[in-house]
Chains A and B, each alone.
Chain A
């Protein structure tokens, strides 16, 4: 009897009853083993989360399943049949669709055009009105609200993501892969996405979902697979059998502290003072409407708000990347309004920008070139008009070690780095020289829990060392645990300032309520 049952079990391992089985997947990139004999299974109608540190190989594994990369070893079965994908087209034909970390949409074209891209229907004449109607109906069915005639560049990030989903559904995808879909969404958009995902699993679709946010994983998925350094550390465990701390441990291989401690300290002089700043956004519309705030030495000041309310423009004005039409920016007592970014750098301003690939780094340059970008004129790296290569390489190696940047060597182009490691390169450059003022935009977006902990510690260290830190984030939890004071921004205006970490107040102000109104209401209800 015993024998038979083990035989049965063995059979079950070999035979694939799931919609997707990936067996022994190996993928090498020059200098890295991104996937090391990875097994992965997806059941029909489930949401299966894929967790792992930055650079663990999650995107690589899913890119293989979506036909973008070819595995070096291992096999893939879809609905019990072995498949070999030579291109994303083959994967789509097998019912697999992927929504990438970077959206694959043509900005100048309409929603419908993007959905029809690459299909053999319509054959020649586009007849957009007809297809607009089809798309609208499909959008209705899945609750993915978006105007089929709108151009992609006019849409918010959340809407663009819906277009990506519609694109996959239109192609008849039964298996959906979403690579960090929530990293770019505002909290309310995340809720909408989850509603849609549930609606889709109800209709029998199966979903793989990559995220770094453990509470989201706990909320939406049925099972979870964890990768660490290219290997599976836990395969398909039920979400009910695990906890946030347990998952974090599996990912990082050690205990993770979710709340960093900060010690009390008295802030010093005002370093940054922003007075009545007005500015426009890239579309030429008013983005900042009289912003006034200040940051003192040795304190972290949070700027809360839903993305797109002027945070990016404000950071640009402070760092000299955007002109203000009115108002003043004073750093360390010197008026630097509308001067070049160089003026700010001279005053000790560091900037961790939101856009890592274009503003934060030069993608085709090496890690070394990227980290010396700000101090290449200083000894010993710069000598006169020359750059000392040996000194630069040595400096880069030190930073690689200090910040634990995972990359084959410091001469690798940064475009090959995973999202988390790219962020570490920027951090290494920006805070290795103690800045007077640090502007940090979403510094932990897309990072794994271990890396988040590291970044948050680094920010607190800056505070202890006496830097002034302006922290822009959408993660309320992060803002509350790090900041000494929090300003709330809404449609280019400061709604108020909170020092006691009152979440409710912050939430109200994020939706456009002025501090005074909240106080008045409070008084009324007390009466």
Chain B
């Protein structure tokens, strides 16, 4: 077990989570809860893998994967924004819908060979830094580096730009935004779409970079749900989302590696001698998410950085006493 390797793998694996979490943060900031992230990620993974194979170019694959997830997210937009239906119910159905489509259309994709993947490379100079260079800047796929750029950009967009200010306002108090002549419905459609695009990108990152291939539900294996949880842990802040994503990624790697050595801290390694304990280990990252979630939301309560106030509520114009 080598710390640098675990962290490096954590950053790589966490990138998929990061994209999906950032997308869900933007959606929730506009006041819409979308529980369909897992399904949208799977659809993105399936579509991008298939299209990369068809066009022989992973980037075209990613483009299609993002668009597919973005389009399917608009079903949720129509149901929750226009029809003003319950967001939890609609999000869960979206999840089934997108998962179903992916499984049907993705049938047999795992037998493909030689599908073009996202290239990996070192960042010159930065990769020379001891330890940090190995963890963050060496041998990663291009998408990892895209992730690094996206975190500060998303933060800047939300906190320091005019559209970002409108985004925050629409999730907090939509009637105030409406009264200023901004289209609340249009904005919500848009940010649900953006959330879909990013979930699709997260899925594509898995099937075309992190663990290449399409293995039905196992491709995403619940990471979409973890992304939904990380949003709360991140307190709707992209920078905390990056931490959450990378730590979770590292944990996934750690539980794999922990089964390797015969001795663990000088003791006989129980996970080495009882391979069945592996199931327990695989559960740990998810249990960790639950714990972190509880701690995170308690901290949020204490510091009074709650969820966007209008999260989960349909906006109905002219309704008195919001």
Contact = CB atoms under 8 A, between A and B. Distances in A.
A107 B181 CA distance: 19
A102 B181 CA distance: 17
B172 A108 contact: yes
Contact of A104 (B160, B176, B320): B176
A122 B181 CA distance: 16
B186 interface: no
Interface stretch (B161-169, B209-217, B249-257): B161-169
Given A109-B168, A122-B162, A68 B179 contact: yes
Interface string A104-119: 1111110001101111
18 contacts: A68-B318, A88-B179, A89-B180, A100-B179, A102-B321, A106-B169, A108-B168, A108-B309, A109-B168, A109-B172, A113-B165, A116-B165, A117-B169, A123-B162, A125-B161, A126-B161, A126-B162, A358-B321
Given A108-B309, A124-B162, A363-B320, A118 B180 contact: yes
A92 B180 CA distance: 9
B274 interface: no
A106 B321 contact: no
Counting chain A CB atoms within 10 Å of each CB, the highest count among B177, B181, B309 belongs to B181
A416 interface: yes
A118 B168 contact: no
Contacts of A102: 321-322
Contact of A124 (B161, B318, B321): B161
Nearest to B156: A125
Given A107-B309, A415-B320, A124 B163 contact: yes
A87 interface: yes
Given A68-B179, A118-B181, A107 B163 contact: no
Contacts of A456: none
B173 interface: yes
A90 B181 CA distance: 8
A106 B179 contact: no
B319 interface: yes
A123 B165 CA distance: 12
A118 B320 contact: no
Given A92-B181, A117-B176, A415 B321 contact: yes
Interface residues of B, number: 24
Interface in B169-190: 169, 172-173, 175-177, 179-182
A107 B169 CA distance: 9
B322 A106 contact: no
Contacts of B176: 104-106, 114, 117
Interface string B293-313: 000000000000000010000
Contacts of B320: 357, 363, 415-416
Nearest to A422: B321
Nearest to A416: B320
B321 A357 contact: yes
- Name the residue in A102, A108, A416 with the highest tally of chain B Cβ atoms < 10 Å from its Cβ: A108
A125 B160 contact: yes
Contacts of A113: 165, 169
Given A102-B322, A106-B176, A357-B321, A117 B181 contact: no
Contacts of B322: 102
Q: Considering the complex of A and B, which 7 residue pairs feature the smallest CB-CB distances, nearest first?
A: A118-B180, A89-B181, A357-B321, A104-B176, A415-B320, A106-B169, A106-B173
A116 B162 contact: yes
Contacts of B166: 117-118
B173 A363 contact: no
A473 to B, nearest CB: 23
Nearest to A110: B165
Contacts, number: 76
Given A102-B321, A117-B176, A125-B160, A109 B181 contact: no
B185 to A, nearest CB: 13
Contacts of A107: 172-173, 309
Contacts of A100: 179
A161 to B, nearest CB: 14
Contacts of B319: 415
A303 to B, nearest CB: 26
A118 B182 contact: yes
Contact of A126 (B165, B181, B321): B165
Interface in A4-34: none
Interface in A119-141: 119, 122-126
B161 A117 contact: no
Contact of A106 (B160, B164, B168, B318): B168
Contacts of A106: 168-169, 172-173, 176-177
A113 B161 CA distance: 10
A179 B195 CA distance: 39
A363 B321 contact: yes
B175 A104 contact: yes
Interface string A137-168: 00000000000000000000000000000000
Nearest to A120: B162
A29 to B, nearest CB: 10
A69 B322 CA distance: 17
A89 B184 CA distance: 14
A87 B318 CA distance: 12
Most B CB within 10 A of own CB, among A87, A104, A106, A416: A106
Contacts of A114: 176
A440 B320 CA distance: 24
A117 to B, nearest CB: 5
Of A88, A114, A125, A126, most buried by chain B (CB within 10 Å of CB) is A126
Interface in A46-105: 68-69, 87-90, 92, 100, 102, 104-105
Contacts of B162: 116, 122-126
A114 B179 CA distance: 12
Contacts of B177: 106, 117-118
Contacts of A69: 318
Interface in A411-435: 415-416
Interface in B234-289: none
Nearest to A89: B181
A160 to B, nearest CB: 12
A109 B166 CA distance: 10
Contacts of B163: 124
Nearest to A153: B304
A117 B180 contact: yes
